Structure 1
Amino acid sequence: MAVSRMKAATIFRGAPIVFGFAAIASPAFCGNAPPPARASRALGDHPNQPAAAPRDVSSINAIVTAFAESISAPAGGMIDRKRLDSLFVPGGRIAIGVDPKPGRAPDVAFVSPDFYADLAGRGLKTTGFFDRVIANHVERFGIMAHVYSSYGSRERPDDPEPFRRGVKSLELLQSGGRWYIVEVFYDFERPGTPIPPEYLVPSP
């Protein structure tokens, strides 16, 4: 994926990444890539996807926690790229919500786990980032599950309070005795948009 320009490092959407709309120059990123000749099966057509640690993917709560841990690292460190990639189906993506501002409507930007790791690494050069699950609100049907996972973000794991809270929306697939992440879409609290109380406690 081509990158034409990067803005200054910032804590963006609850994760330390360098990001700007002008940074993305890929037609595929903008949704202009030509359609594939046929529908691709994420798992069936990619048998060499990195294996995940069984403890990370054995349950819904386990994979949500593993995602939070894999994007966490101290200042000067790097997030666990291999672990992060192993949680997703091939082609899985992270959707970064763009909050509204004067003159800018809400939007979303899609990145791969690998590209996300590149961006996050830039922010981690100076600032630590630790993501912690608050509660998971789960709904299931057949092979799929949807999770609203509330979270708190800290610069150090022992910080008494998070500098930011928000909610991740995770689409999950159960296949081959494990769970996979198909997509993560997240937003954070801001004035007028608190986390609903029902998302601060685990679902029954």
Structure 2
Amino acid sequence: MSMIQKKMKNAASLFITALLVLTLQSTSYGQRSFEDPDSLILCLHKVLSGPAGARNWELYRSLFHEKAILGVVRTDAQGHPSYSSSTPEEYTKRTDEFFRTNDFYVEETHRITERFGDIMSLFSTYQFRVGGGAKSQQRGKGINCFQLIHDAGRWWIISLQYTNERPDLPMPKQYEGIDVK
């Protein structure tokens, strides 16, 4: 085998190895099927939940359409509602340190689903806790309002708006309980 043939064989081996690695990565993260909305929402909660440490932000970003927006309604110091929005990428940058330093667990407890063709709206009650076990620093619940679209053979989160329950905004009874589809 000539020197040129050896170099070509090595280059081909490297190319095939790189292609295999890229295929495995895309299968593991960005190219998940998410053919049903349940797997999408479950994956979101699994990515966010866990002991203090790094989150799989690549998988998180793969849940969202490239034009997705996230928003949260909170109250300011005077008790007035305040809205802020971000992209999924901005959210990961803003919250990464929090997740690295805090145990955080979130789960869906109730859902109302409305669908027409390739659009879907989910009104999803969640409960969360920060900290582990009896040492939980904070517990709470709230509502996620998801807007999903079906595109390219899978479901995507196009919008996620959320707010937590608070003293002046208790959770309505119809959104309580375990009733997840």
Identity of aligned residues (%): 21
Could you state the TM-score of these two structures normalised by the residue count of structure 1? 0.65
CA separation in 1, counterparts of 2:146 and 2:162?
Answer: 8
Runs of 4+ in 1 over 4 A off after TM superposition: 156-162
8 Å CA contact retained: 1:58, 1:179: yes
Specify which of 57, 62, 70 is matched with residue 47 of structure 2: 70
The alpha-carbon deviation at position 72 of structure 1 amounts to 2.4
The corresponding residue for 1:90 is 66
CA separation in 1, counterparts of 2:170 and 2:179?
Answer: 17
- State which drifts further: 136-145 or 118-127: 118-127
C-alpha spacing 1:203/1:190, structure 2 compared with 1 (3 Å): same
For residue 137 of structure 1, what is the amino acid of its counterpart?
I
Question: What are the residue-to-residue correspondences of 1:164-203 with 2, within 5 Å?
Answer: 164-200=140-176, 201-202=178-179
Q: CA RMSD in A?
A: 2.4
- Decide which structure has greater helix share: 2
8 Å CA contact retained: 1:100, 1:106: yes
Specify which of 154, 166, 174 is matched with residue 129 of structure 2: 154
Q: How many residues align?
A: 151
CA separation in 2, counterparts of 1:105 and 1:164?
Answer: 20
What is the CA deviation profile of residues 27-65 of structure 1, one whole-angstrom value per residue up to 9, with x for unaligned ones? xxxxxxxxxxxxxxxxxxxxxxx73422xx221222111
For residue 171 of structure 2, what is the amino acid of its counterpart?
I
SS at the partner of 1:83?
Answer: helix
CA separation in 2, counterparts of 1:160 and 1:140?
Answer: 40
Could you state the TM-score of these two structures normalised by the residue count of structure 2? 0.73
8 Å CA contact retained: 1:70, 1:83: yes
Kindly name which structure, 1 or 2, has the bigger radius of gyration based on alpha carbons. 2
